[in-house]
Structure 1
């Protein structure tokens, strides 16, 4: 059995991953929190927690006899404050961890640098979002200091995290309840989601030596489609769902072709200069002003009708067919099939804990 220390175990993701890891026979979880106040819920759930900071003089005691360290810390504040926090956590934690214990860092797919989830989900040489820039900085710290201590480094660029304790899951549960009787228009495309259950599998795989060190893109593998996600939450909530699949180019088709989108602004520019054009060309081309006016208003009308139809439809998911780059972990199971028993057990544990606190 491998003993895995979890830094930031009192966060939403770290806590749920710790609870899933505890269900395994081959992993013992050691949650590490800064103080007893932060570990209150974990201790209520039956964990034996260790308290302190990686920058403490006796930090080695926090990681004593651990086979791996998983870093779920998520500093907040300004960019300067977050970088300072990364430097206060990562280098000393890597240094204090036992020899040969791999360091598993939970990063984010935003580190690929795309500006938002509507943009192509590819690697950008210069990050277009501030959070991704900070995560790249943390990744470099991990790789640099692990290399300096001859330990394996795992950088897991995690997708949007779903689970029993995750905010995005609560929002989707509310969505399926609110739209139970309405059609929901869902992209026919893979999502960039991952469940806390799969993150626990990834941490276990790295700790047990089942994966090679390096950078990984951590999304569900095989990927859940947006329809898979929507229907999953509808089943969980016990409500019907009416799904209409959107083709990849649904927005583009509704708003016109690429040529139309370039032509429409050009026609607008021409229409604003109609008096000048009519003055020079009107005599040679009778009726040109009427043609320009008609075409300009026709295109505007089609566009407004398409936009109105789109706004009236329930389209809660980005219609983005980009496939995230990066290696995938081979130790992940198909969570659409394997997650249900573990999730049911976790729900029962959380319900019992909530009942006990009353």
Structure 2
């Protein structure tokens, strides 16, 4: 089965392609807009296609022989939001229109559509990323229905895996061998890329798999303690974990916190920030200096917090997320067994670096490497 993967050059997309490529039933086809974006996967021996699926003149060439499309792509929302939404729409619609008739569509969404609800909050505070993914879900549902395509929407939480940033952070933290963290006994919203790949294969081949919208996480759901202990065992670290509690907020504090967070979210949008700066300038000088001082203090505190050592890092946002338990995609293999039976990514076949990325006279395998 030809399975196209959009967004294959991202962290999740790249690792997912490496895992799907091992399946004898799948011919994985990563799609990248540029050859530079596909360099890593081509180095790993996976043939890629290059072009823009959002462009109707190219989409047929890229998707015409594909039985299924896994869509992880999301345009940048940082600049022109209207253009990003239009591009997002075309990616979704062209995935259906230019792949094989009645293809299987798998739209990768996020649990941020729920507002990233934290355990100490009475109500969630939505962010732009979650809102756009929710809108993308609606577009995918409408488009798939019109074309009679099978559609699976998988909402991912914190994605763990060999190439994932959250896993790298956890591995850095456990090197201390002594961690004081909140919420260790709480169910996490983590999902390993192996389980994502398992869900995709179930959607494609399992007769009992029913199209729909699902939350996708480890099978069964792992606690945060299980996540840290797994990585510690893998690293051979004798890890001592201590669960600490976080002071509960009063109703007034919770409401105030929610308002501040929402205001900060608005402040991330350049046009709103500019308007706010103009308004603040009209305030009395004493009020202006007070607001400016608070802003500078918060900015400095945030910068200092990022320098915290793993031993005192008790503010990691992921640990405070409220567990999601409904609309789970069932019938998948136990995540622990997948992690045991899967071959290491380092065992994936490697090829010489693609010739289009080599400069004349430079052997990239012997050239000095910069430390990360």
| TM-score, normalised by the number of residues in structure 1 | 0.74
Whether the aligned pair in 2 keeps the contact of 1:65 and 1:98 (CA below 8 Å) is yes
Shift of 1:17: 0.5
TM-score by structure 2 length?
A: 0.71
> CA-to-partner distance for each residue in 1:119-148, whole Å, 9 max, x for gaps?
5699x7xx7222111111111111111111
Instruction: State how far apart, in whole Å, the 1-side matches of 2:210 and 2:25 are.
Output: 19
Within 2, Cα distance between the matches of 1:91 and 1:102? 13
Aligned to 1:112: 114
Deviation at 1:168, TM superposition (A): 1.1
Give CA-to-partner distance per residue, 1:149-194, whole Å, 9 cap, x none. Answer: 11111111111111101111111111111x2145555521110111
For residues 237-252 of structure 1, what are the structure 2 equivalents within 5 Å?
Answer: 237-246=235-244, 250-252=245-247
- Deviation, 1:43, is 1.1
Q: Distance in 1 between matches of 2:56 and 2:252?
A: 62
C-alpha separation between the residues in 1 aligned to 2:122 and 2:328? 15
Match of 1:233 in 2: 231
Asked if 1:190 is matched to 2:187, the reply is: yes
Give the aligned partner of residue 65 of structure 1. 65
SS at match of 2:2: strand
Q: 1:326 to 1:183 in 2, by over 3 A?
A: closer
User: 2-side partners of 1:49 and 1:84: how far apart?
Assistant: 25
Q: Which residue pairs with 1:161 in the alignment?
A: 159
Residues 35 and 241 (structure 1 numbering): CA distance in 2 closer, same or farther, change over 3 Å? Answer: same
Q: Is 1:172 paired with 2:170? A: yes
Kindly tell me: are residues 169 and 351 of structure 1, through their superposed partners in 2, closer, same or farther at Cα, counting changes over 3 Å?
A: farther
1:74 alignment counterpart: 74
Partners of 1:113 and 1:321 in 2: how far apart?
10
Shift of 1:22: 1.4
**How many pairs are equivalent?**
297
CA distance 1:317–1:133, change in 2 (3 Å): closer
Aligned to 1:20: 19
What's the CA shift string for 1:103-123, capped at 9, x where partnerless? 100010001234x5445699x
Find the counterpart in structure 1 of residue 356 from structure 2. none
SS at structure 2 position matched to 1:324:
coil
Contact between 1:68 and 1:102, CA under 8 Å: does it hold in 2? yes
Provide Cα deviations, 1:284-322, integer angstroms capped at 9, x if missing partner. xxxxxxxxxxxxxxxxxxxxxxxxxxx985535756584
What value does the CA root-mean-square deviation take over the aligned residues?
3.1
Over 3 Å counting, the alpha-carbon distance change for 1:181 and 1:243 in structure 2 is: closer
CA contact (8 A) 2:178 2:241 kept: no
How far did 1:199 drift? 0.8
* Structure 1, unaligned runs of 5 or more: 263-310
Partner of 1:11: 10
Distance 2:179 2:350 in 1: 31
Q: Distance in 2 between matches of 1:338 and 1:121?
A: 36
Alignment of 1:196-235 (within 5 A): 196-210=193-207, 211-235=209-233
Give the aligned partner of residue 148 of structure 1: 146
User: For residues 364 and 139 of structure 2, what CA distance do their matches in structure 1 show?
Assistant: 42
Alignment match, 2:365: 357
Q: Give the structure 2 partner of residue 131 of structure 1.
A: 129
Contact 2:68–2:105 at 8 Å: present in 1 too? yes
Residue in structure 2 matched with residue 91 of structure 1 by the alignment: 93
- Residue 232 (structure 1) shift: 1.3
Q: For residues 211 and 144 of structure 2, what CA distance do their matches in structure 1 show?
A: 11
Give the corresponding residue for 2:273: none
CA–CA distance in 2 between the matches of 1:350 and 1:213? 33
Distance 1:105 1:50, change over 3 A: same
Measured in 2, the distance between the counterparts of 1:321 and 1:40 equals 35
